């Protein structure tokens, strides 16, 4: 009989009645063949692996992570409540000790959704990992430091944005180089906001990187950094579009490679992100990930059409990745040495494109620099939808000055310039909106 070495919970929510459009990559049958494969392999009968029902994330759960414009209901469909709720259930199972590992095999995905939500980007409306992480911090204060390792082929610019100023959430993304793929970001220079310098780490990989390259990054960069950071919780944003058969990317990863990656990283929670090779990759990658999490032999999991010779990367790709890892590790180790301003306000301006909905947003962000807490910040956001809003964030563990600054920002704005002014007060778990 097969037994799992680690108790593992599976939250499977394929949302068979949700799609962006019938032929869109994010369509109803995306997880159908995965379900067939997992069922046929008898994965759910392995002792120690159990399937659990997803839950529903509430509006409040979503407001902890987002400023939804104009409101939560306008930004999401019920499917998002379930996919974020599935992640929350996964976290609950792990943190209550019901299981050691959990995998939220849910859709729709979330890692391109930023803190301000003016529409859908990269098939994402809300950031399901961020909703989960904020729920965890609210309900399990013992969880202070969280690492998110994003192995989706696309840079997780949404998760990076939500945690840019948060020194307690380490975000590491491995992805196909942004010069060759949506969303066009995720370079080593994106290294975290002023109060969380070095807590955003980006590893852009050359197209056609295969298992060897990806696993090199895991062993020689990700694992040493995680060891330094000592997180209380590790989350893998387990996108599966690095697979050699994925129709919208150019990488050469295999199911066995994904399984090995998860064996090395051993995250507490995996969350499905992208991955659109619904017949040739997802059934095998997901089976591999579940087995690796549970500590069951996955060495016989293999795609029917796998030809290792055909997808092996050029030796120059490996050399490039080796150098990249050395450089990144050096950046990580010396992150505290740079001379940086430690007080005052820091501003940035940027434009964000919502490709799924065809919306453009213009943002002005102001962060209060602070050495005692993650720092309050405000985001002035104007979108082509016509909505202009102001979002104010008072972080977990805010110092009195940052709290005062956040409240002052909120009170000062009467809302005449804005459609609405939003406040996230994390420590008090209060999310207020002033509508003009």
Partner 1 sequence: MRLGIDVGGTHTDAVCIEEGTVRATAKTLTVSDLVHSIREVILALGVDCTRVERTILSTTLSTNAIIEKTFAPAGMIISAGPGIDPRNYFLTDDFHLVSGAMDHRGREYIPIDPREISSVAEKLKERNVAGVGVVSKFSAKNPAHEQAISSLIKPGFEHVSMGHTLSGNLNFPRRIHTTYFNTAVMPVQNRFLLAVKKAFAGLGIHSRLHILKADGGTCTAASAGEYPVETILSGPAASMMGGLALSTEPDVATLMMDIGGTTTDMGILIGGVPILEPRGVSICGLKTLVRGLKVVSVGAGGDSCVSVVDGKIRVGPHRDGPPACLGGPMPTPMDALAVLGRFPSGNQEKARSAIAPVAAVLGRELEGVAREIVSLMVGNIRANALEFVEEVNRHPVYTIYEMLHPELVEPRQLLVIGGPAAQLKPFLEEAFGMKCTVPDHAMVANALGAALARTTVQITLVADTQLGRMVCPEMGIDEQAPPSLTMRELKKRGVDLLRAHLASQGLEEGLEIRVVEEQSFNIVRGFSTAGRNYRLKLQTDPGILPEWRLPC
Give the per-residue SS3 of 128-151.
HHHHHHHHHHHHCCCCCCEEEEEC
Interface of this chain with partner 1, residues 85 to 114, rule: CB under 8 A: none
Task: Count how many residues are written for the chain.
Answer: 436
414 binds partner 1 (CB under 8 A): no
Residues 6+ apart with CB under 8 A from 268: 94, 100, 101, 102, 233, 234, 235
Strand partners of residue 236: 149, 270
Min dist CB 330 to partner 1, Å, is 41
Determine the Cα–Cα distance for residues 232 and 253; give it in Å rounded to an integer. 29
388 binds partner 1 (CB under 8 A): no
Rg (the chain; Cα; Å): 21
249 binds partner 1 (CB under 8 A): no
250 binds partner 1 (CB under 8 A): no
Which strand (E) or helix (H) includes residue 326? helix 315-333
Q: Which of 42, 344, 358, 397 binds partner 1 (CB under 8 A)?
A: 42
Determine the Cα–Cα distance for residues 61 and 210; give it in Å rounded to an integer. 37
Min dist CB 194 to partner 1, Å, is 41
Strand partners of residue 345: 368
Q: Which of 189, 227, 305, 416 binds partner 1 (CB under 8 A)?
A: 305
Give the nearer residue to partner 1 in terms of CB position, either 274 or 406.
Answer: 274
Strand order in the sheet with 169-176: 47-52, 3-13, 101-106, 269-272, 233-238, 146-150, 169-176, 200-205
Determine the Cα–Cα distance for residues 203 and 398; give it in Å rounded to an integer. 30
Min dist CB 294 to partner 1, Å, is 11
What is the residue whose two structure tokens read 């062993």?
A: 219
Q: Is 112 a catalytic residue?
A: yes
Give the nearer residue to partner 1 in terms of CB position, either 35 or 58.
Answer: 35
297 binds partner 1 (CB under 8 A): yes
Give the nearer residue to partner 1 in terms of CB position, either 53 or 372.
Answer: 53
Q: Which of 97, 141, 227, 304 binds partner 1 (CB under 8 A)?
A: 304
Q: How many residues bind partner 1 (CB under 8 A)?
A: 48
User: Taking CB under 8 A as the rule, which mask of x and - marks residues 254-283 in contact with partner 1?
Assistant: -------------------------x---x
Give the nearer residue to partner 1 in terms of CB position, either 80 or 175.
Answer: 80
Min dist CB 98 to partner 1, Å, is 12
Buried (b) or exposed (e) across 115-142, using 16+ Cβ within 10 A?
bbbbbbbbbbbbbbbbbbbbbbbeebee
401 binds partner 1 (CB under 8 A): no
Alpha helices in 334-423 (DSSP H): 400-412
301 binds partner 1 (CB under 8 A): yes
248 binds partner 1 (CB under 8 A): no
* Residue of 80, 112, 155, 393 with catalytic role: 112
Q: Which of 58, 79, 266, 346 binds partner 1 (CB under 8 A)?
A: 79
Give the nearer residue to partner 1 in terms of CB position, either 32 or 329.
Answer: 32
Give the nearer residue to partner 1 in terms of CB position, either 178 or 295.
Answer: 295
3-state secondary structure of 296: coil
User: Taking CB under 8 A as the rule, which mask of x and - marks residues 8-27 in contact with partner 1?
Assistant: ---xxxxxxxx---xx---x
User: Taking CB under 8 A as the rule, which mask of x and - marks residues 313-342 in contact with partner 1?
Assistant: ------------------------------
Is the backbone peptide bond immediately before 108 cis, with ω within 30 degrees of 0? yes
Alpha helices in 12-104 (DSSP H): 32-40, 59-63, 72-75, 78-95
33 binds partner 1 (CB under 8 A): yes
Strand partners of residue 377: 367, 393
409 binds partner 1 (CB under 8 A): no
End-to-end CA distance of the chain: 64
Give me the half-sphere count of Cα atoms (radius 13 Å) on the Cβ side of residue 388: 10
Contact call for residues 394 and 370 (beta carbons, < 8 A): no
Give the nearer residue to partner 1 in terms of CB position, either 21 or 351.
Answer: 21
Strand partners of residue 11: 52, 104
Give the nearer residue to partner 1 in terms of CB position, either 80 or 368.
Answer: 80
78 binds partner 1 (CB under 8 A): yes
Query: Among 52-60, 65-73, 202-210, 420-428, which window interacts with partner 1 (CB under 8 A)?
Result: 52-60
Q: Which residues are catalytic?
A: 112
Residues contributing to the site for partner 1 (CB under 8 A): 1-2, 11-18, 22-23, 27-29, 32-33, 35-37, 39-45, 51-54, 56, 77-79, 82, 279, 283, 287, 291, 296-297, 300-305
């Amino acid at each position: 009989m097969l037994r799992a070495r680690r108790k593992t919970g599976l939250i499977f929510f394929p949302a068979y009645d949700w799609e962006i459009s019938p032929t869109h990559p994010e369509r109803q049958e995306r997880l159908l063949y995965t379900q067939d494969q997992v069922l046929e392999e008898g994965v759910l009968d392995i002792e120690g692996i159990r399937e659990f029902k997803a839950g529903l994330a509430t509006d409040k759960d979503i407001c902890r992570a987002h400023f939804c414009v104009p409101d939560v209901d306008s930004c999401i469909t019920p499917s998002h409540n379930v996919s974020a709720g599935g992640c929350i259930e996964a976290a609950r199972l792990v943190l209550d000790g019901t299981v050691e590992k959990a995998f939220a095999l849910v859709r729709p995905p979330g890692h391109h959704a930023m803190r301000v939500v003016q529409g859908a980007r990269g098939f994402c409306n809300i950031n399901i990992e961020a909703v989960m992480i904020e729920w965890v911090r609210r309900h399990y204060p013992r969880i202070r430091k969280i690492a998110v390792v994003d192995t989706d082929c696309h840079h997780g610019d949404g998760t990076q944005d939500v945690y840019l100023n948060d020194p307690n959430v380490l975000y590491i993304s491995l992805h196909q180089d942004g010069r060759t793929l949506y969303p066009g970001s995720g370079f080593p220079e994106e290294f975290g906001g002023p109060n969380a310098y070095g807590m955003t780490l980006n590893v852009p990989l050359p197209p056609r990187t295969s298992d060897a390259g990806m696993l090199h990054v895991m062993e020689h960069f990700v694992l040493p950094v995680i060891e330094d950071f000592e997180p209380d919780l590790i989350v893998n944003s387990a996108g599966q579009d690095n697979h050699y058969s994925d129709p919208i990317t150019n990488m050469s990863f295999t199911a066995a490679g994904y399984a090995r990656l998860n064996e090395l990283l051993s995250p507490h929670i995996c969350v499905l992100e992208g991955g659109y090779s619904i017949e040739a990759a997802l059934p095998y990658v997901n089976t591999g990930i579940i087995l690796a999490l549970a500590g069951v032999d996955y060495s016989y999991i293999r795609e029917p059409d796998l030809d290792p010779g055909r997808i092996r990367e050029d030796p120059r790709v490996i050399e490039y990745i080796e150098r990249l890892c050395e450089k990144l590790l050096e950046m990580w180790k010396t992150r505290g040495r740079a001379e940086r301003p430690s007080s005052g306000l820091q501003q940035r301006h940027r434009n964000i494109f919502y490709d799924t909905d065809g919306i453009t947003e213009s943002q002005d962000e102001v962060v209060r620099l602070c050495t005692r807490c993650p720092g309050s910040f405000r985001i002035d956001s104007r979108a082509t939808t016509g909505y202009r809003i102001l979002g104010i964030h008072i972080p977990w563990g805010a110092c009195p000055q940052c709290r005062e600054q956040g409240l002052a920002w909120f009170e000062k704005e009467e809302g005449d310039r804005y459609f609405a002014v939003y406040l996230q007060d994390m420590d008090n778990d209060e999310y207020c909106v002033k509508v003009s």
